[in-house]
Amino acid sequence: MSFRLGLTGSIGMGKSTTAKLFAAAGCAVWDADAAVHRMYAKGGAAVAPIADALPGAVVDGAVSRDKLKEMIGQDPAVLKTLEQIVHPLVALDRAEFAANSTADILVFDIPLLFEGNGHREVDAVVCVSVPPETQEKRVMERGTMTREQFLQIRAKQMPNDEKCARSDYVVITDTLDHARTQVDKIVQEIREKLANA
């Protein structure tokens, strides 16, 4: 029986880097965003159902995120339709990953873990965190969005303090070495629990 660990954290907190650290420690990592990317790509599981429900969203045989953004901007109900298609597919992908994995610790990298009640399906939750000014600096340095877009995204997510308070573990990602030390400690603690179970 594998230990199911949820990994969450708001935008710019260092979640992707932390997921890589868990993978380096021998954990199997399932990434919600990567699963959606696979489904949106040519031949992906979401392409046909989205083409049926939202024909304008599929371009050259793949789901266009830009078109989806545009459509959701014009009609917020599009998001509901999209979620009804994508959520069950993502849940299926996650279940397949869990069923086929042989690792002792399975890490589920899910940005909106608490918002989507995913925390109910895992044994423990890790939240990644840095101070808000570090978070903003990181996101701005990516150069992929304006400060206004970043603040909008952050406003939609559960406040970081609340996420940390509801989590079993918090990893501070101020430096890579510090994050690695914390991840290794969590993995060691879980493996000890598994050995004594």
- Tell me which residue has tokens 């790509």: 41
Question: How large is the C-alpha radius of gyration of the chain?
Answer: 18
Structure confidence at residue 172 (pLDDT): 97
**Position 4 pLDDT exceeds 90:** yes
Rounded CA-CA distance 88/56 in Å is 21
C-beta separation of 32 from 109 below 8 A: yes
Structure confidence at residue 76 (pLDDT): 87
Q: 156: pLDDT confidence band, cut at 50, 70 and 90?
A: confident
Rounded CA-CA distance 83/60 in Å is 22
C-beta separation of 61 from 47 below 8 A: yes
Q: Give all domains of the chain, ordered by start, each with its CATH number.
A: 1-27+103-197 (3.40.50.300), 33-102 (no CATH)
Contacts 24+ apart (CB under 8 A), 88-93: 89/39, 89/45, 89/46, 89/49, 90/32, 90/35, 90/36, 90/39, 93/30, 93/35, 93/38, 93/39, 93/45
**Position 153 pLDDT exceeds 90:** no
The mean pLDDT of 130-157, rounded to a whole number, is: 91
pTM, to two decimals? 0.90
**Position 1 pLDDT exceeds 90:** no
**Position 92 pLDDT exceeds 90:** yes
**What's the whole-number average pLDDT of the chain?**
94
**Position 155 pLDDT exceeds 90:** no
Q: What is the DSSP letter of 158?
A: P
Structure confidence at residue 197 (pLDDT): 82
The 10s digit of each residue's pLDDT in 183-193 is 999 999 999 99
Rounded CA-CA distance 26/111 in Å is 21
Residue 129: left (phi > 0), alpha (psi -120 to 50), or beta? Answer: beta
